[in-house]
Amino acid sequence: MKNRIISFILALSLIAVIMPALSTPSYAAGVYDAGKAVEYSYNNYDKNLGQLCAEFVSNCIKAGGITDVFSKGTGPLINQLLDGGYGTLYKMEISGGELKSNGNNTGKVKPGDVICWYCTNCRKYPHVAIVSKIEKDIVYYNAHNTSVQDGHWIGTYTSPSHSGHKFDVYILSMQTCSHPSYSFKNSSFYCDKCGSEYPIKETTCNEWMDIAKVNGSGTAPAHIKPYGDATISARYSKNDYVNVVAGATNKYGNLWYKLVDGSWLEAGYLTKHTHCYNSDVRCTHCTEGMEIIPLNNVSLTATQSPYTTHLAPYGDAVGVSQTASALTVNAKAVNAYGNIWYRLTNGRWIWSKYVQSPAVDGVVKSSASGGLSFNSKAFAAGTNGSQKLTVIPAGAHITVYPSDKCGHWYSVSYNGVVGYAAGN
């Protein structure tokens, strides 16, 4: 009788080891960032291919913030995650060889979860992968070994040691933070549990607005985050004009506008910009009516220090003094006065006279009948304040700044004078 009892206990123990245990939801001590885990999987699915599948998934999970779980074995990895309270194991239904997130699988799978293949013949887990994305209810995964990016045929696991075997598919649904409460610190609200910032959903736009109101200090303060208690990054005066690139409501439900330099202004300070057009139908304060020519992050050098960058390509726009000599620009434009300005990668503008552009030597073509008209601005003489400086004769040597070209106007240096010439 005693031997029977011992045999029965041993049998129960074996079943507990080899059968896939279904768990109930629980909260882990750590917090899992599924986005970072998925990002790691995309960046590394084709690297370190000597890694086993469980080792790859372990590293993905580690990138997601869970650092006390690691195994090269699939079964031990799954057990560590379950024992640590990091997730819930669900048996999934397979449809047409694919794992889908609808039907009876609804709510059980999301990006960052772990897919577990269970061999019912061998009674063990031979393979695991990380869920990379879900599109049109189809679940995709990244894996080692061999490398797989966004695989989706999941119903059959192929391995020489499991040829002809039957598989069940499980999802270890990772526990992520439910953000139970937020506290204000470091100029924004952060989750008390996981530390992630309160999400601000931005609606993109591109428009100019005027500072219509100021506070008791006589200014409209811009903040690094859309909260009045956040650090102030700049102060604007009444009637200043700013370039707005997005709008959003903060945690309190108040509307704020994001400026081109990344700072935020409360909506109550702003009103629609009043355009002042010249004869060329270009606003003399903002980029309205102005052709913005994209540049592929061109490197330029500042010719003086300090210099001023502006929120708009005009000298009377709100300016900030800077000293960095190396500049990277992603656009250029001719303003209403015919001056070329460059847009820096931070969204601010610098006048071309403060930068040195790459130069090439050129010769005025002999086909230029009567020579080449050399003007003070990138407009025809007599238009928008542009004056004819001289006529450059055919065959004359000039210095051309190709990156300063706007439309058919080139920035040209002739006899030590910099101006503009039209031509090809």
pLDDT in tens, 15-42: 333 344 443 333 334 578 888 899 999 9
Residue 56 has pLDDT above 90, yes or no: yes
Share of the chain above pLDDT 90, in %: 39
Residue 2 has pLDDT above 70, yes or no: no
Judge whether 154 and 141 are in contact, CB under 8 Å.
yes
Judge whether 247 and 258 are in contact, CB under 8 Å.
yes
pLDDT of residue 396: 85
Whole-number Cα distances in Å, 290 to 174, 243, 308, 333: 51, 14, 21, 7
pLDDT of residue 406: 66
Choice between 104 and 418, residue whose per-residue pLDDT is larger: 104
pLDDT of residue 280: 62
The pLDDT of 34-61, averaged and rounded, is: 91
* Rounded Cα distance, 362 and 285, in Å: 35
- Give 3-state DSSP helix, strand, coil % of the chain, rounded to 5: 15, 40, 45
* Rounded Cα distance, 378 and 341, in Å: 11
Residue 13: band (very low, low, confident or very high) from pLDDT cuts 50, 70, 90: very low
Q: pLDDT tens digits, residue range 371-406?
A: 788 888 777 787 777 888 888 888 888 888 776 666
Write down the pTM of the prediction.
0.51
Q: What is the DSSP string of 74-118?
A: HHHHHHHHHHTT-EEEEE--EETTEEBSSGGGTTS--TT-EEEEE
pLDDT of residue 265: 97
Choice between 370 and 109, residue whose per-residue pLDDT is larger: 109
Residue 74 has pLDDT above 80, yes or no: yes
Share of the chain above pLDDT 70, in %: 88
Residue 245: band (very low, low, confident or very high) from pLDDT cuts 50, 70, 90: very high
Cα angle for residues 410, 416, 421 (degrees, 5° grid): 20
Judge whether 313 and 349 are in contact, CB under 8 Å.
yes
Residue 249 has pLDDT above 90, yes or no: yes
Residue 294 has pLDDT above 50, yes or no: yes
* Rounded Cα distance, 153 and 94, in Å: 10
* Rounded Cα distance, 159 and 323, in Å: 62
pLDDT of residue 5: 38
* Rounded Cα distance, 362 and 215, in Å: 55
**Residue 131 neighbours by CB distance under 10 Å:** 26
**What is the edge-to-edge ordering of all strands in the sheet holding 397-406?**
360-363, 397-406, 409-414, 417-422, 372-375, 388-392
Judge whether 310 and 322 are in contact, CB under 8 Å.
no
**Residue 163 neighbours by CB distance under 10 Å:** 7
**Amino acid at the residue 391:** V
Residue 299 has pLDDT above 60, yes or no: yes
Residue 131 has pLDDT above 90, yes or no: yes
pLDDT of residue 157: 60
Q: pLDDT tens digits, residue range 149-201?
A: 999 888 656 677 777 888 899 999 998 877 788 999 999 999 887 777 888 98
Whole-number Cα distances in Å, 56 to 72, 125, 156, 172, 244: 8, 15, 21, 16, 43
**Residue 46 neighbours by CB distance under 10 Å:** 13
